[in-house]
Amino acid sequence: MTGNGSLSAKERAYRDTKARILDGSLPGGDLITEGQVADTLAMSRTPVREAFLRLEAEGLLRLFPKRGALVVAVSPSEVEAVLEARELVEGHALTKLCAAPEEDRAVVAAALHEVLDVQREALSREDEQAFAEADRRFHITVVESGRNPILLELYASLRDRQLRMNLGSLERGPSRPRAILAQHEAIVAALTAGDAEAARERLRVHLDATRVSVLGR
């Protein structure tokens, strides 16, 4: 694995700025400049400018010549689009898995129970980042169980948007992670029983709760 010391300056600028956007250190609506980032990373402005262009292409920044770059906030329409895509992809995987032999469902259920254990531990330690990472692992495990590489690739393309959405969702208060855990447990219970309709409905309830938490409606 390549260490940060061997990365090019523009790659370091890109990764650092993107990471700060995704973890909320640079929230939507903030105006940042090439000079600020260059000073923080002890580099010239040229690689930062190239990193900003790349982040603009990814929809994370909006550049304003001679003024800086605006961190693009997650819009309501983007939230709706991401959740719609998630329901389609994850719902399909759950339906497919519920129709699979019981032993196949048991393997996936066991993997999901391991993730739930991690979430419970993270919740007890109030480790928001670990909880969010386990949340992502839970849903990826569901999608992977569908064994459709094209849908998995589509789901992976939503990763950055989901990270920002999840951050906003968890910031709604201490009760939100507990609700997420309970909703995950309900999905696993339906999956274990092989009840596709119940599994999809519980997924829908979970995603609706995410919508309310992120958008406030």
pLDDT tens for 146-167 read 999 999 999 988 888 888 777 6
Pairing of strands 31-32, 68-71: antiparallel
- Averaged pLDDT, 58-83: 91
pLDDT tens for 95-143 read 999 999 999 999 999 999 999 999 999 999 989 889 988 999 999 999 9
Round to whole Å and give the CA distance between 170 and 183.
14
- HEC string for 28-70: CCCEECHHHHHHHHCCCHHHHHHHHHHHHHCCCEEEECCCEEE
How are the residues of the chain apportioned to helix, strand and coil, as percentages rounded to the nearest 5? 75, 5, 20
Residues 6+ apart with CB under 8 A from 10: 46, 47, 48, 50, 51
Work out the pLDDT band at 83, boundaries 50, 70, 90. very high
pLDDT tens for 173-182 read 568 899 999 9
Tokens found for residue 78? 């983007």
Round to whole Å and give the CA distance between 144 and 138.
10
**How many CA atoms are closer than 13 Å to the CA of 5, on its beta-carbon side?**
0
